[in-house]
Structure 1
Amino acid sequence: MSSILAVHGSPRGERSHTRRLTEVFLDAWLARHPGAELTRREVGRAPIPHVGEPFVAAAFYPQPAARPLHMQADLALSDELVDELLEHQLLVIAAPMYNFGIPSGLKAWVDHVVRIGRTFAITEDNGVAQYQPLLRGKRALIVTSRGGHGFGPGGVNAAFNHADTLLRSALGFIGIEDVRVVAAEGEESDSRAFQASCAAAERELLGLAARL
């Protein structure tokens, strides 16, 4: 892993736990790889536009090589984001859980990079759509924080987790199947318990920085 794309999804600044935890990983990783490339994409405090009808029409235009200029313009940001993703080997996403899901700016980023013809393809088998991922050899790390407890696999609230689970599904759909999730839970509970959870997340992130 010689290049990292870090996508920051939290609308909060210095109070963001996912930003702080992500920096723990990035600092440790860069210390071990001083010549590595790091690119940051801000979608939390500088949200990107959500996709709309012009985007959909342009993305599914039947002859991509012959898209009219206005459609090429409608896809310009998406092309930039997809190119950015393709250029890096390790994707790090700072993704707090908001109301059981991810912040809307991060969802917009997902909608821009899950692109037909760029990150996935569609064929038909007896009239039924078949989907093929187009990305290969990439890894992802999701750094998340949750106000409550038990949202991880097997937890009492796992069924309510539509945050990192959504990201896993979307990334796997385009071919990024090696995905690690590091979570801090309990911000809305006892402060000591949350501090302990954050400390455990930091240790896990430092370990990943040494191994990835």
Structure 2
Amino acid sequence: MRNILRIDTSAQQERSLTRALGDIFEDRWQSLRPEDPWQRHDLALDPPVHVGSAWIAAAFTPEDRRSADQQDLLSASDRMIGELAAADLIVITVPMYNYGPPSTLKAWIDNVVRKDRTFSFDLTRGDWPLEPVLSGKELVVLTACGEFGFGPGGPRDGMDHLLPHLDTVRHYLGAETMHVVRIEYQEFGDDRHRTSLKAARDEAGALAGRLAARTRPSLQGEAR
């Protein structure tokens, strides 16, 4: 079996395009691999705490020296790291807000990218003292934006601060690869948006099919 962690981030529930992409991906995956367990965390309904000075002090206090209050402060972070560590595939549904991630997703990242839990720190490594602890995972990002042309050479090239951020931190999530499906033109609501929406829906299902099918040979080999 493969364990899937689904992180939903849109503040919208019923009208969310990214949640809908997540449902398409999940439905397709489950049609192929119904035995695989899913862990779901809705950051809009269960938002992580934003990192503050007390949280930082607790995280950088050696575990055997933390007070009961510090342990309690880090308990939600410990739970989220446990969810992440158990996952083979991470599926994040995330809209672009003001050219970046929703604050809840940034808070989740800050809670799970943590010294001695998901990365080690050693100055003997020179200018690259941070090293990921987790590995072997894949990251799927299902996203939507109101505008368009954020890719290389596009009219808004360099204005996307969502996907580059996720691509930078994915190593500390244990993800060696990142797959992206994006809806564009949402604010325009014209034929371009409808075309982009259909293409993204088709690609979300197709991506789930490709990733789910890719796991089958090794699992069949184990069964024998």
Is the TM-score greater than 0.5? yes
Aligned residue runs from structure 1 range 115-194, under 5 A? 115-125=114-124, 130-194=129-193
Show structure 1 runs of 4+ deviating over 3 A. 126-129
CA offset at residue 128 of structure 1?
5.1
Aligned residue runs from structure 1 range 11-160, under 5 A? 11-61=11-61, 63-125=62-124, 130-160=129-159
Equivalence for 1:8: 8
- Contact 2:84–2:173 (CA<8 Å) still a contact in 1? no
- Contact 2:48–2:111 (CA<8 Å) still a contact in 1? no
Once residues 126 and 14 of structure 1 are traced to their aligned partners in structure 2, the CA distance between those partners, rounded to angstroms, is 48
SS at match of 1:151: coil
Taking every aligned residue pair, what percent have the same amino acid on both sides?
38
CA offset at residue 174 of structure 1?
4.2
Residues matched between the structures, number: 211
CA offset at residue 83 of structure 1?
0.2
CA offset at residue 149 of structure 1?
0.6
RMSD: 1.6
- Contact 2:136–2:176 (CA<8 Å) still a contact in 1? no
Once residues 52 and 194 of structure 1 are traced to their aligned partners in structure 2, the CA distance between those partners, rounded to angstroms, is 39
Q: Which runs of 5+ in 2 are unaligned?
A: 212-224
Q: What is the TM-score normalised by the length of structure 1?
A: 0.94
Once residues 126 and 20 of structure 1 are traced to their aligned partners in structure 2, the CA distance between those partners, rounded to angstroms, is 43
- Contact 1:44–1:106 (CA<8 Å) still a contact in 2? no
Once residues 174 and 4 of structure 1 are traced to their aligned partners in structure 2, the CA distance between those partners, rounded to angstroms, is 13
CA offset at residue 48 of structure 1?
2.2
Once residues 156 and 90 of structure 2 are traced to their aligned partners in structure 1, the CA distance between those partners, rounded to angstroms, is 27
- Contact 1:44–1:103 (CA<8 Å) still a contact in 2? no
Once residues 87 and 172 of structure 2 are traced to their aligned partners in structure 1, the CA distance between those partners, rounded to angstroms, is 18
Question: Structure 1 pair 75/37, CA: closer, same or farther in 2 (3 Å)?
Answer: same
Q: What is the TM-score normalised by the length of structure 2?
A: 0.89
Once residues 63 and 188 of structure 2 are traced to their aligned partners in structure 1, the CA distance between those partners, rounded to angstroms, is 51
